[in-house]
Every structure is written in structure tokens, then in C-alpha cells.
Structure 1
Amino acid sequence: MNVNKLAVGYENLKSSVRTHSYITIKDKEMIEIECCRKVLKFEDNIAELEIPCGKITIVGLGLRMKNFGFDNVKIYGKLHSIGFEEINSTKTEDIK
């Protein structure tokens, strides 16, 4: 098995196993997101991050990001608002 196939397999396994994320907000100046899957957008005033159950949007001034570990991020700056958009669940529900 080559390294690329192994890496893709690991990412797929990690995505299917981790179904939650921990978010810590400190003093309107820092937010820490554990189990961040992907940084979708990062600019001076807005950041969009994908987590297992959805997408987080952070709006603020002078945003800066620091990675720690392999799937955790800290965002610093003057935080204005934080939004959450749920990703449609892949589970089906039986209707009787």
C-alpha cells in the first residue's frame, strides 16, 4: 500500500469516528476549537471552519490563527460574533 492511499484511508477513518468538537471561548479575544476538520476560509475579519457536525463562522477584527496538534486551532483577535451551521445528517429516519 502506498503512502497516499494510507493517508486517505486514515483521514476517512478519522472523519467517520470523530463526531463531536469542543469549543472554548475566552474573554472575547480567543476561541479554541478542538477537532477542526478543515479551514474553509480565513481572512482578517472572518474565519470559517469545518467541524464534525457543521460549520463555524467567526467574525471579528484582526483575526489570527494558530494551529496546535494536528486538528486543533486557536483564533485570536477582537471577536464580534460566532455562528454555527449544521451539516445535513447522513442518517435516514423511518416515517410511519
Structure 2
Amino acid sequence: MDTKNASKDMENLPEFKAMMADLSALRADVALLAGHVKASTVSAAEAAAGQVSAEATKLMGSVANAGKSSAKAVERQIDAHPLVSLLLAFSLGFIGSRLIAK
């Protein structure tokens, strides 16, 4: 019974009550800090995702423009030399069919 009385006496001490109040305040502060860290992390992740998305869109646009430029260059080459283009296409088709047939 001495331990029960001792623990009850300890709970009534002002230092113990102050320590429990400080512990409760510390828990609240840690919870608040965790919330701020989570919000900051989410905000940083959203910003990074936005930057990646913008860069991907920019890269897709430049690849599309490069593809259009290449297609126009090939078209100009075919217009400038139609007979050579026809013979080249026929030759590539013939060689391709021979490779597939084996």
C-alpha cells in the first residue's frame, strides 16, 4: 500500500502537475510540427510535379517541332529528286522483303 500512497502523493505535487502540463504541451507542439512538415512536404512535391509537367510539355513541343521539321525536309528532298526517292524506296522494300523471307 505504500506504493499506492506514494504515487498519489506524487500526483498531488505541483512539480508533477507542471511536468504533466509540459508533457501535454510538448505533445501538442510535436503534433503541430508534424502537421507543418507534412504540409511543407506536400507543397514541395506539388511544386516539383508542376515543374516536371511544364518541362515535359516543353520537351514534347520541341520534339513535335523537330519531327515536323524532319518531315518537311524529307518532303522537300522527295520533291527535289522524285526518281531517286522512288528507286530508294523500291530498293529498301526489296531488301526488307528478302530479310523477312529468310
Per the shorter chain, which TM-score range? under 0.3
The structure showing larger relative contact order (alpha-carbon pairs under 8 Å, at least 6 residues apart) is: 1
TM-score calculated relative to the size of structure 1: 0.24
Q: Bigger radius of gyration, 1 or 2? A: 2
Higher helix share: 2
TM-score calculated relative to the size of structure 2: 0.23
